[in-house]
Amino acid sequence: MTPALELENVHKAFGPTPIIRGVSLAIEAGTRQALIGPNGAGKSTLFNLVTGKYPVSSGRIRLNGEDITGQRPYEINRRGLSRSFQVTNIFPWLTVFENVRCSVLWALGYRYSFWHRVSRARDVQERTETVLEQLNLTARRHVPAGVLSYAEQRALEIGITIAGGADVVLLDEPTSGMSRSETEHVVQLIREVTAGKTLLMVEHDMGVVFGLADRIAVLVYGEVIAHDTPERIRANAAVQEAYLGVPQGAA
């Protein structure tokens, strides 16, 4: 079966410095997977390569079997892949409502039309309302996004990512900087909005990772050293050494 997302021997160097040193990864459709690794491993760079922000130095990237290597971010997004950002990347002067609405416009087929009125477009309004409810931001809909609290902004960040209905969702550290209770809310939100979709997320919070992920890929110094179920990752000695520190149960 064609994997939803496939990386084939992807390399990326910035000048003379190699960051991604030959990553081959296949993410099966409908699964929730996590990408973990120590700081500086290249996780965000990998996301940027997949979503078209940076060009690859070599290698291929395939989305649902189609080659998307070297395409622009909007081309990739239109094929059904969407990402969130580690550093909140919203539209600060638009209201919360408008933020989400901008994310559904292309997916609903409105393109560059100047003959529709967005406020009259039923489907746009309904989809936006639905997403806002999932994000629990309905009450804050008229607030300029730049004014929201950090946790609300992170929720909006996820909202913008999934509002368009992309099948493959990439979340970059969705719970970073959050308290315990905020994290629980966000995990619940992620579970809800990625039901039936393919999810790949970068995370440092191991509780979130082991709670959500079907499979985990471990990236160390630009290479994937393991890609397996959570239990086997836990037991993997190389992973423990590189990232998890002292193995569980040891003195």
Partner 1 sequence: MSTPAPATTRPLAAGRAVPTDRRRLYGLWIAAAVVLLALPHVIRTPVGVPIMNQMGIAIVFALSYNMLLGQAGMLSFGHAVYFGLGGFIAAHVLNLAGRGSLYVPVPLVPLVGGLGGLLAAAVLGSFSTARAGTVFAMISLGVAELMAASSLIFDRFFGGEEGITTNRAKAPLLFGLSFTKDREVYYLIAFWVLVAAAAMYAFSRTPVGRMANAVRDNPERAEFVGYSQRRVRFVSFCAAGLFAGVGGGLFAINYEILTAENMGLNASGAVLLMTYIGGIGYFVGPIMGAVVFTFLQSMLSDYTGIWLLYLGILFLATVLFVPTGLAGVLMLHAPAWRARRLPRLFGPYLLAAGLALVAAVGIVGLMEMVHFIASADASRGAKRLFWVSVAPRTVTPWLVFAALAAAGGLGLRWAAPRAAAAFVEASRPGPGR
Q: How far is the CB of 91 from partner 1 (least distance, A)?
A: 4
The strands making up 223-228's β-sheet, listed across from edge to edge, are 81-83, 168-172, 198-202, 32-36, 215-220, 223-228
**Closest to 148 (Cα-Cα) out of 162, 135, 129, 167:** 135
- Residues with Cβ < 8 Å from 130, sequence gap 6 or more? none
Cα(99)–Cα(159) distance, integer angstroms: 9
Cα(138)–Cα(128) distance, integer angstroms: 10
Tokens of 14: 């910035």
The answer to whether 136 touches 181, Cβ cutoff 8 Å, is: no
Q: How far is the CB of 79 from partner 1 (least distance, A)?
A: 10
Cα(201)–Cα(27) distance, integer angstroms: 11
- Give residues in contact with partner 1 (CB under 8 A): 51, 53, 72-74, 77-78, 82-83, 85, 89-95, 97-98, 101-103, 105-107, 110-120, 125, 139-143, 160, 163-164
- Our CB check for partner 1 shows the closer of 48 and 183 to be 48
Q: How far is the CB of 189 from partner 1 (least distance, A)?
A: 18
Tokens of 23: 């990553």
Q: How far is the CB of 162 from partner 1 (least distance, A)?
A: 11
- Our CB check for partner 1 shows the closer of 139 and 246 to be 139
- Our CB check for partner 1 shows the closer of 154 and 227 to be 154
**Number of C-alpha atoms within 13 angstroms, CB side, residue 153?**
20
Q: How far is the CB of 247 from partner 1 (least distance, A)?
A: 39
- Our CB check for partner 1 shows the closer of 98 and 184 to be 98
Tokens of 64: 């649902």
- Our CB check for partner 1 shows the closer of 142 and 180 to be 142
Q: How far is the CB of 64 from partner 1 (least distance, A)?
A: 17
Q: How far is the CB of 51 from partner 1 (least distance, A)?
A: 7
**Residue 247 DSSP one-character state:** P
- Our CB check for partner 1 shows the closer of 169 and 239 to be 169
Handedness of CA 39, 229, 69, 9 (dihedral sign): positive
- Our CB check for partner 1 shows the closer of 9 and 138 to be 138
